[in-house]
Homo-oligomer: A and B are copies of this chain.
Amino acid sequence: MRKFNFSSGPSVLPEPVLRKAQVAVWDWDDTGIGILEHSHRGPEFTALCERAERLVREVGDVPDEYAILFLQGGASAQFHMVPMNFLAAGATADYCVTGTWGQKAIGEAKKLGQVHVACSSEASNFAAIPSADEVHWSSAPVYGHFTSNETIHGVQWAAPPPPPPGGAPLICDASSDLFSRPLEISRYGMVYAGAQKNLGPSGTVLALARKDLIERGSRALPTMLQYRTWASDHSLYNTPPTFGIYLVAEVLEWVRAEGGIAAMQARAVERASLVYDFLDQSRLFHGHARADSRSLMNITFRATTPALEAEFLAGADALGLANLKGHRSVGGMRASMYNAFPVAGARALVEYLDEFERAHR
C-alpha cells in the first residue's frame, strides 16, 4: 500500500510512470536490455534523448533559441556554475534572496566575484516575497538571479521580479516549481531545476538557457563547467544519468497526457487551496508564509505548541501521511505537493487536520 508522500524531494512520481519503469528496468521497449544497461551512445538511447528534448520544448513551450541541458550535481552545482560562466572579474551579479536556497546561491557567487543583494526577505524569516518595487537591481548587473519557489520556507514568486537593467538576463532557480505552472521563458536568460520535485528523480538537473547567453560564458573553465559543452553535445559530452533522463521523458509524457502544464497548475491550485483554506480558518494551525507569498508546492505551517506538532506528526505517520515534518529552520510541518501528488492526498491531509483540531478543541 503506497502512502501519501509529502516529501520535499525526492518526491512522489506518477504511478503510471513507475509501472512503466518497473518493466523498463528489466527489458526496455523489448530491446532485450534494461534501461539502466543501455549504452548512452546506442541508437535507442540517442532517440530517447531527442524525445526528452522534444518533450521539454513541447510541454514547456520552449523555443529554439533556448538550449535544453540535462546537467548533474543538483541545482546546487548551478550555484557555482552560473557565476563561473557569467560573472567575470570586475562585474557584478545581482541576487534576490527569499530563503535558504537563495542564500546558498549567493553564497557560492560571493566566492567567485562581486555580488549585490537586490532584495532580501530575511527579516521576516523568509515568510514574504518582496514586491516589485522592493527589488533594487544594481546599475549594471551581468545577471539577476532569483529562486522562484523556496522549498524550505514555502514562499513562491507569483510573477518573476522586474527585469534587471540593461537587458541583463534573469536567471531563475526553479527547482521546486518548474513546469508546475506556465513559464514565460522569454523573460529569462536561464532557468534550472533539480528534477526531483516536479520532473523525475534526483541526480538530474534540467536547464533551459538562451543559446547566446551560453556562448558568452567563460572559455577559461574546465570543459564540463562550461554550459556550452552541454549545449553543443546535447548533454552527451560524457555519460549522462541515463535513467534520470528516461524518467524525465516519461514524466513529461505523463504531464502531456494529463493535459499539460495548465492541468498541473489547476491541480496545484486545487491541492494548495484545500490546505490553505483550512489553515485560514483554523485556531490550532497557522501558515508560515504571508498570504500573498504562499507557495503552491510547499505549504509550511505550525500548530500552537511544539507538543501538538509532535503529536500531529506521529498521528500523520500512522495514517500513511508521510514526510510532513517541517525543516528545522521553520519548524512545524511542511506539505510538499508537486505535479505527481494526487489531490486525494491533499484531501486526506485536510481531513486529518480537521479531525485533529476537533479532538484538541
Contacts and interface: CB of A to CB of B under 8 A. Distances in A.
Interface of A: 1-3, 5, 7-13, 18-19, 21-23, 25-27, 31-34, 36-40, 42, 72-77, 79-80, 84, 107-108, 111-112, 194, 196, 201-204, 220-225, 237-244, 247, 320, 322-323
Contact of A2 (B32, B74, B196): B32
B203 A243 contact: yes
Given A22-B26, A108-B222, A13 B36 contact: yes
B7 A42 contact: yes
B239 A9 contact: yes
Nearest to A200: B36
Contact of A320 (B25, B32, B222, B238): B32
User: Which 4 A-B residue pairings sit nearest by Cβ, starting from the closest?
Assistant: A203-B241, A80-B222, A3-B32, A76-B238
Given A2-B33, A34-B18, A72-B74, A10 B203 contact: no
Nearest to A7: B39
How many copies of this protein are present in the complex? 2
B10 A239 contact: yes
A237 B203 contact: no
Contacts of A224: 73, 76-77, 79-80
For A11, A22, A222, which residue has the most chain B Cβ atoms within 10 angstroms?
A: A222
Contacts of A225: 80
A36 B246 CA distance: 13
Contacts of A238: 74-76
Contacts of A25: 18, 21-22, 25
Given A194-B239, A224-B76, A10 B26 contact: no
A347 B50 CA distance: 36
A73 B77 CA distance: 10
Contacts of A204: 203, 241
Given A7-B42, A241-B202, A241-B241, A322 B77 contact: no
B38 A237 contact: no
B73 A73 contact: yes
B1 A42 contact: no
A214 to B, nearest CB: 18
Contacts of A243: 201-203, 243
A12 B27 CA distance: 11
A77 to B, nearest CB: 6
20 contacts: A3-B32, A3-B33, A7-B37, A8-B39, A9-B239, A10-B38, A11-B37, A11-B39, A13-B36, A39-B323, A72-B203, A74-B238, A77-B224, A108-B223, A201-B242, A201-B243, A203-B239, A203-B240, A204-B241, A241-B241
A37 B320 CA distance: 15
Contacts of A202: 40, 239-243
A336 B66 CA distance: 37
Contacts of A323: 39, 42
